[in-house]
Amino acid sequence: MKWKKLGKIFDPSDYIMANGCKEFAQAPQALIFEDFIRIFFSTRNISKNKKSLSHVQFVDMDKNLRTIRNVSKNIVIELGILGAFDEHGIFPMNVLRYGDKIYAYTSGWTRRVSVSVDTGIGLAFSEDGMNFKRMGNGPVLTTSLHEPFLVCDPFVKLYNDVFHMWYIFGTQWKNYSKGSPPDRTYKIAHATSIDGIVWKKEGRKIIDDRLNYESQALPTVIKIEGRYHMYFCFRESFDFRKTIGRGYRLGYAFSDDGKTWNRDDEKSGISLSMEGWDSEMMCYPHLFQCDDNIYLLYNGNQFGRYGFGIAQLEELK
């Protein structure tokens, strides 16, 4: 694969957004309309008790992905009710068209006591791609015997009348040094569904590790000429927030049957820039096709604090 970076295309600090959000536009996800592209993302704001919350908003762009038409003035979907899996945030939200509706798979999170957070995957529906109503107060995919923590980061595609979801699950929480809060480790997995609601897990991690303590996040998949291509981000499981070189970067894997994946990060065709907004970190990728072009949305330094950029596929190797 060979990608051409087109630069940062959205910076949240340039716009007035809902709930006073001024920073972070994380996990951008595209929905194609007839004459524009709507890109959903997660913002952050601080609650009255000085805790962070994640809300979904969107930006509408011309198909040249340079001209911004509109930025949502309201959040797209309300957070969950008291005690729900998405009470404190939705990050990210993956969307796709199915029939006359738009399905939105939400990655909800809620705070815990012994560890910082727990997560689950919910489902909401929309007819206009602007207002979403959740299916219920619970998740459609959550933890289980062999996936005990942190089920989240859904990416869903429909192939041969079957829904395929790539997502992540946590394998452990661990204190890596005395006095430090516990850090999480998570891996990429796969599930299928006939209706997009009831899911059957494959029950295993599907992408090999490259680091001794590797966390993998936000898989995204596209099928080109009979081959499946996956991009995701990965990092060290601890000491990754401030230490350069231990934070997120992009990984790549391919599959000819959608089941067995071959990881080959060296052939990803994209890497950190020498300087600028994506020179220290690249994370939360999203693949999509618009007309005859294939694009990759992603966040840069500090987990998307300063917005997101895009790259265009130039060559398929």
pLDDT tier, 91 (very low <50, low <70, confident <90, very high otherwise): very high
pLDDT at 316: 82
pLDDT at 46: 75
Question: Cis omega (within 30 of 0) on the bond before 182?
Answer: no
Distance CA 290, CA 280 (A): 29
304's enclosing H/E stretch is helix 301-304
233-269 burial, b if ≥16 CB within 10 A, otherwise e?
bbbbbbebeeeeebbbbbbbbbbeebeebebeeeebb
For residue 117, pLDDT over 80 is answered with yes
Q: What mean pLDDT comes out for the span 94-110?
A: 96
Write out pLDDT tens, residues 164-192: 999 999 999 999 998 889 999 999 999 99
For residue 84, pLDDT over 80 is answered with yes
CA angle 81, 82, 83 (to 5 degrees): 110
pLDDT tier, 22 (very low <50, low <70, confident <90, very high otherwise): confident
Name beta bridge partners: 245: none
pLDDT at 166: 98
Could you tell me which residues come within 8 angstroms of residue 95 by beta carbon, excluding any fewer than 6 positions away?
Answer: 29, 31, 40, 102, 103, 104, 105, 129
For residue 19, pLDDT over 90 is answered with no
Write out pLDDT tens, residues 198-243: 999 998 999 999 999 999 999 999 999 999 999 999 999 999 998 9
For residue 40, pLDDT over 80 is answered with yes
Q: What mean pLDDT comes out for the span 34-62?
A: 90
Distance CA 10, CA 59 (A): 8
What the block records as the tokens of 158 is 């429909």
Could you tell me which residues come within 8 angstroms of residue 120 by beta carbon, excluding any fewer than 6 positions away?
Answer: 85, 86, 107, 108, 138, 139, 141, 142, 143, 151, 152
pLDDT at 16: 82
Could you tell me which residues come within 8 angstroms of residue 299 by beta carbon, excluding any fewer than 6 positions away?
Answer: 25, 26, 27, 28, 281, 282, 283, 284, 307, 308, 309
pLDDT at 60: 97
Write out pLDDT tens, residues 125-157: 999 999 999 999 999 999 999 999 999 999 999
pLDDT tier, 244 (very low <50, low <70, confident <90, very high otherwise): confident
For residue 262, pLDDT over 80 is answered with yes
Q: Which domains does the chain have, with CATH numbers?
A: 2-10+81-315 (2.115.10.20)
Location of structure tokens 């340079």: 66
151's enclosing H/E stretch is strand 149-159
Distance CA 268, CA 254 (A): 10
What the block records as the tokens of 55 is 């809300």
83-120 burial, b if ≥16 CB within 10 A, otherwise e?
ebbbbbbbbbbbbbeeeeebbbbbbbbbeeeeeeebbb
Within 10 angstroms of residue 196's Cβ, the number of other Cβ atoms is: 19
Q: What is the pTM of this model?
A: 0.96
Handedness of CA 272, 275, 277, 279 (dihedral sign): positive
Of 104, 75, 102, 107, the residue nearest 91 (C-alpha): 107
pLDDT tier, 17 (very low <50, low <70, confident <90, very high otherwise): confident
